[in-house]
Chain A
């Protein structure tokens, strides 16, 4: 078993605990924005896709990488926009519609 795997496993387990901790504290009102935001953050996979599309190793890698860049970047863009839009809708009483 490679040493790198153990390091990755530590990161995964710790990040999982952090995730459970913070996400349980997310307001129940905001579960839809939560899902669109985690989706947008998940789109950081775009960095791996860019490396594969730009390394110019094989034609297959470039094609798959480019599709992956497009798919993940659309999630980042769309996810942040819609999260922001939804969060703008949440107002307290007394504030006027702007």
Chain B
């Protein structure tokens, strides 16, 4: 095959892959077509890989095959993690993707440092800075989600200044390299400084902000890939990177809106610090608590029930018991839906996956706006493992740290039931006035066993 023919074949193969990638995401618009989307993506990937192996002037295949074998051996187990572990898996894969992009950029730099134009140096530097900081930042995020690292924000005085100084020095090193290409010694320093910045960027961010951070890192990983496409002149990389980058960006915006916070606030605000004193006013208020029998009676008498699940439900592994509860109630003709807040769980859409895994039909999973418009007609709102996303202080108390955050308006339902271990404030340490309302019943206990007891009561009652 002549080099020219080979070039044409690979370019068309990459074009076909790009088209398939776009269709792949397009078919995610509905759960019915979504699996077709995965198939399209896989075919696109295989075409791109085969064309590259066949026709790009590769001399030695040994290391490629070793790399593919290692990648497959690592990738398969990462594809089979539990759904509760999907957030950390995702963060880890952002870091792998960013690592690959950085290493290729680094290798491009060292291939021929003397012949690089100023423009090349700028492209490579930018690509390697973003790739490196995404690599370490995502590793830290994965560590926090896996709870190897503390989930609480780790902060110190002058932190933002230090972080900004580190980022600026990486940029300054890049600019210096552009004007003094001979100073190749600066390149590894720039990489090291960028790696350090990734650590500094994510360490101060708390676990509750992880959905936003993962989305942001997703968009950085995409951007790093697209920039690598600029460096190499590879259009398929630019397209895949732009798709990934815009997806991460859109998800970040959705997450920020759902928490009523700005990007800068998430990155530099260290959520969870401000609220330290906010729970002080909580004394001398009474709560009403109820037994599983009471709860079962109330649920039986209802005709519309909304269940609001939070990450606590997944932690308690209660989703399968919740499914049993859903089955029994639905069989009795009661309309049961689920109200899923955008930031419920540890990454965008996480709660939907956990509920779908428990065989809850996806047409019963409603988003915040849908469920809020139904709330005044709802007899019982049952909250399982969610806290801040149901806190009415977000609507009413302008001094609350979550004031302005859109919430699920459970307090508009006729009766509210909250399954909770104790009255301790939630992840962000904010007191929830919902628990002291007259219409609220607190169901104290472990989510899984409490739902199990309600199910048993309902079954007992049904048999009589």
Contact = CB atoms under 8 A, between A and B. Distances in A.
Interface string B61-88: 1011011101110111111110100100
Contacts of A65: 63, 67, 103-104, 107
Given A26-B29, A42-B97, A48-B232, A90 B356 contact: yes
A23 B76 CA distance: 27
Interface string B41-71: 1101100110111001111110110111011
Given A38-B247, A46-B49, A58 B110 contact: yes
Given A41-B24, A47-B49, A30 B97 contact: no
Interface residues of A, number: 86
Interface residues of B, number: 113
B31 A51 contact: no
Contact of A29 (B56, B58, B123, B349): B349
Contacts of B66: 66, 70
A49 B67 contact: yes
Interface string B110-123: 11000001010001
B438 interface: no
Nearest to B39: A84
Interface in B312-334: none
Interface string B11-45: 00010010001101110111100110110011011
Given A19-B243, A49-B104, A44 B21 contact: yes
Nearest to B31: A90
B18 to A, nearest CB: 8
Contact of A33 (B28, B63, B70, B222): B28
Contacts of A64: 103-104, 106-107
B97 A81 contact: no
B364 interface: yes
A9 B239 CA distance: 11
A58 to B, nearest CB: 7
Interface in A45-97: 45-58, 60-62, 64-95, 97
A74 B244 contact: no
A44 B237 contact: yes
Interface in A6-51: 8-9, 11-12, 15-16, 18-20, 22-51
B407 interface: no
Given A22-B25, A43-B97, A69-B68, A11 B107 contact: no
A46 B443 CA distance: 52
B447 interface: no
Interface residues of chain B: helix, strand, loop or mixed (majority):
helix
B214 interface: yes
Interface string B153-164: 000000000000
Contacts of B246: 16, 19-20, 23
Contacts of B348: 31-32, 34-35
25 contacts: A1-B119, A11-B239, A16-B242, A25-B26, A27-B28, A31-B349, A33-B353, A35-B349, A42-B243, A43-B100, A44-B45, A45-B240, A52-B107, A53-B63, A53-B64, A57-B111, A58-B110, A62-B60, A67-B67, A69-B67, A73-B68, A78-B89, A78-B93, A81-B76, A90-B362
Interface of B: 14, 17, 21-22, 24-26, 28-31, 34-35, 37-38, 41-42, 44-45, 48-49, 51-53, 56-61, 63-64, 66-68, 70-72, 74-81, 83, 86, 89-90, 93-94, 96-97, 99-101, 103-104, 106-108, 110-111, 117, 119, 123, 214-215, 218, 221-222, 225-226, 228-230, 232-248, 250-251, 254, 342, 347-350, 352-353, 356-357, 359, 361-365, 367
Closest 6 CB pairs of A and B: A81-B79, A73-B71, A69-B67, A31-B349, A77-B75, A19-B246
Given A25-B26, A27-B29, A71-B100, 17 more contacts: A8-B230, A20-B250, A23-B246, A28-B352, A30-B349, A32-B347, A35-B218, A37-B28, A38-B25, A47-B51, A50-B56, A69-B100, A71-B71, A72-B97, A75-B96, A78-B79, A95-B361
